[in-house]
Chains A and B, each alone.
Chain A
Amino acid sequence: KQEVTQIPAALSVPEGENLVLNCSFTDSAIYNLQWFRQDPGKGLTSLLLIQSSQREQTSGRLNASLDKSSGRSTLYIAASQPGDSATYLCAVTQGYALNFGKGTSLLVTP
């Protein structure tokens, strides 16, 4: 059974810092890995998708990497802003449905 773990569970940083969120998964036979953002009381917003054959994806200040063989992914956020405050979820798929981690709750303070 695929297990997805996210570290840290919570993170507080001052505005402007670069930060890294970590995600690990137990079964490397995945099709892709997706990072989401969830704001309080809201649904999920897709940030980045990395296919199993890819090593990284970038969107603006976000960069996600994937090391499938070791079962790890990182989400790098550059020059953090208070608007980045949210819960970040990592999910992997071995078909179509997603297996989620518990998320990292990020607070960026002005």
Chain B
Amino acid sequence: SAVISQKPSRDICQRGTSLTIQCQVDSQVTMMFWYRQQPGQSLTLIATANQGSEATYESGFVIDKFPISRPNLTFSTLTVSNLSPEDSSIYLCSVVEGRNQPQHFGDGTRLSIL
């Protein structure tokens, strides 16, 4: 299965700043996703990162707040902009190589806002 490296593993940021999270996969994958896990909650899909085109966002998530890049089939970034305390969460990237293949996750980025 694909090995996923996510950076940073954790960060503490000031309100109003932005944080960019990187996700690197050791093989080319078609489908890559970004999820958010708020404290005490389960995972919620933010968007599908599309290679070479704009990401597809889920209801409640917008590009201005969560811009995503996917320059190739092994790498993606998620930026969380204009940070507020409500953005304190774990952010995870995941990949899947086919419709009936298991989805694999990075270790996540734990973000806290001061």
Interface residue ranges, A against B (CB under 8 Å): 4, 31-32, 34, 36, 41-46, 49, 51, 89, 91, 93, 95-98, 100-103
Apart from A100-B44, A102-B42, A103-B42, 20 more pairs, CB < 8 Å: A4-B42, A32-B100, A34-B103, A36-B105, A41-B110, A42-B108, A43-B4, A46-B104, A49-B102, A91-B43, A91-B103, A93-B103, A95-B99, A96-B48, A96-B96, A96-B103, A97-B58, A100-B42, A100-B43, A102-B41
Q: Which B residues, 46 to 102, have Cβ-Cβ distances below 8 Å to chain A?
A: 48, 58, 92, 94, 96, 99-102
Q: What is the interface residue range for chain B against chain A?
A: 20 to 34
Q: Which residues of B contact A102 (CB under 8 A)?
A: 41-42
**B31 interfacial by beta-carbon distance below 8 Å:** yes
Contact of A98 among B43, B99, B106 (CB under 8 A): B43
Q: Which residues of A contact B110 (CB under 8 A)?
A: 41
5 A–B pairs (Cβ distance < 8 Å), ordered by A: A43-B92, A46-B105, A91-B43, A97-B33, A98-B33
Most chain A CB atoms below 10 A, which of B45, B100, B106: B100
Interface residue ranges, B against A (CB under 8 Å): 1, 4, 6, 31, 33, 41-45, 48, 58, 92, 94, 96, 99-108, 110
How many residue pairs between the two chains, A and B, have CB atoms under 8 Å in the bound complex?
60
| Chain A proximity of B26: nearest CB distance (Å) | 15
Contact of B103 among A4, A51, A98, A103 (CB under 8 A): A98
Q: Which residues of A contact B45 (CB under 8 A)?
A: 97-98
